[in-house]
Structure formats: structure tokens, C-alpha cells
Amino acid sequence: MPWRSAAVRAAVQRAEETFGGIDVLVNNAGHMLVGAIEEVEEEQARAQMDVNYFGALWATRAVLPGMRERRAGRILQVSSPGGLVAYPALGIYRASKWALEAMSESLAAEVAAYGIHVTLIEPVMFPTGLAAGSPQARQDPAYAHARQALFAGAGAGGFTPGDRAATAEALLTLVETPEPPMRVLFRTGGLEALRTEYSGRLAGLDQWDHLSRLAQGKPSGS
């Protein structure tokens, strides 16, 4: 909503007037809507995108003019491995993170010339109370299998939650790194899952490459 973006711009302006500028922006606000695609109500879907994507977008846009003028700045987007891999019963939540990932990757290319660095942080699992404090869609028995698959996956592997205090140190290290990464996983245990996911994607594309060639059609004149 326009008034929300205006409120963010006003807050950023007050901060810049008070502190002389904003050097680092950390977009960390978010909630996790649990529900199959058909279970989620329209208002819930819009609220999910409003918080996880548009909130970060408005805050990012608000700090950019000052950062460009100073030709320096760090924008840290707290995303999720869910911004890279989708699971059942979390489709709308993951969609909000995929949107954040795409926007941030494009932004990084746009503002690099001004000395602004953008980093997507992918926290694997931390004891933040996110699940307990987030809304859930109505539960339709037709999708009980999807919720079971989600919770079975969450419990697999015996994950040990990451340390929130150690995360603060990692964030500061990231801010002080001259050439920070585009993406970084916070907490161990996520890299192997991503390797499996992306190798599977490439294998699937390779398996169906004959359809890609069919869609290409024959060269003109042949």
C-alpha cells in the first residue's frame, strides 16, 4: 500500500537526518505462512508478500539515494534456503523469498557501479520462534499428505539450530568484508541439500533436452 512505502521513506529520512546517513541496511522482518496453495486465503497470500517481499523492497528503495550519493553501502537481505528450493505446504512463503532473491540479484548488478553491495543471507535453521509466531492456512484433509511431507523433511537429519549470538558476529564480519558474496548460507547443513537440488534440476533439464530442441524448430531454409 502507498502509505506503507511512504512510512518507510519517512523513517529512513529521520534516521539519515539523525545519524548523517545509513551505511548498512538489514532487511530481517518476515513471517512464514504454512499451507498448501489451495488452502491459503487471498488475504493471507497478500500479507505474506507484503511483509517478506514488499517490506524489504520499500526499505531498500528508501536507502538507495543516500547510498548512491555517498557511493557506498551494504544491503543485507535475510532470505532463506526457501528462496532457492520450494517445499510442499510452504508455496506462498517460498514464493515471497524467491521474489526477494530475484529482486536482490538484479539490484546487485544495478548498484555495483556506486560501491553498493547486496548480499542474500540464507539462514538454515535458527531458534527465532518464526514457526510458532506465523499464521497457518485452514487445513483441508485433501492436503494432509503435503503437511506430513513438510514436517517429515523438517525433522530429518537431526538439525542442530544455529546460534543467534554467533550470527551477530557473522553479520558484522560480512559487513566489514571488502568484497562480500552475493549469497551466503548461515549455519551448516544446507550446502549438501542445495547441491542435491541443483544437480537434480540440471539432470531434469538434460533429460528433456529433446523437447527443448523440438520447440526450437528447424532452421529457416532447411
DSSP conformation letters of 128-142: S-TTTTS-B----GG
Close Cβ partners of 167 (under 8 Å, ≥ 6 residues apart): 123, 126, 186
| Averaged pLDDT, 31-59 | 94
Question: What residues are annotated to the active site?
Answer: 79, 93, 97
Residue type, 186: F
Show the domains of the chain with their CATH numbers.
Answer: 2-189 (3.40.50.720)
How confident is the model over 183-209, as pLDDT tens digits? 999 877 788 888 999 999 999 999 999
Q: Which one, of 127, 120, 30, 37, lies nearest residue 79 by Cα?
A: 120
Tell me: pLDDT of 155 over 70. Answer: no
pTM: 0.87
| Rounded CA separation 20/177 (Å) | 22
Of 18, 27, 102, 101, the residue nearest 64 (C-alpha): 27
* Residue 160: per-residue pLDDT: 64
Question: For residue 2, is pLDDT > 80?
Answer: no
SS3 of residue 157 by DSSP: coil
Confidence of residue 43 (pLDDT cuts 50, 70, 90): very high
DSSP conformation letters of 38-95: TTS-HHHHHHHHIIIIIHHHHHHHHHHHHHHHHT-EEEEEE--GGGT---TT-HHHHH
- Confidence at residue 125, expressed as pLDDT on a 0 to 100 scale: 67
Q: Which residue has the cell 539432470?
A: 203
Per-residue model confidence (pLDDT) at position 158: 52
Q: What is the pLDDT, as a whole number, of residue 168?
A: 87
Per-residue pLDDT tens over the stretch 74-133: 999 999 888 888 889 999 999 999 999 999 999 999 999 999 999 999 887 665 666 666
For 37, phi then psi, to 5°, come to: -55, -45
Output the average pLDDT for the chain. 89
**Cell match 517481499: residue?**
53
For residues 95 and 82, what is the distance between their CA atoms, to the nearest angstrom?
8
Name the phi and psi angles at 163, rounded to 5.
Answer: -95, 120
In the predicted model, is pLDDT for residue 61 greater than 80? Answer: yes
What pLDDT does 190 receive? 80
Using CB atoms within 10 Å of the CB of residue 164, give its burial: 0 to 12 exposed, 13 to 18 middle, 19+ buried. Answer: exposed
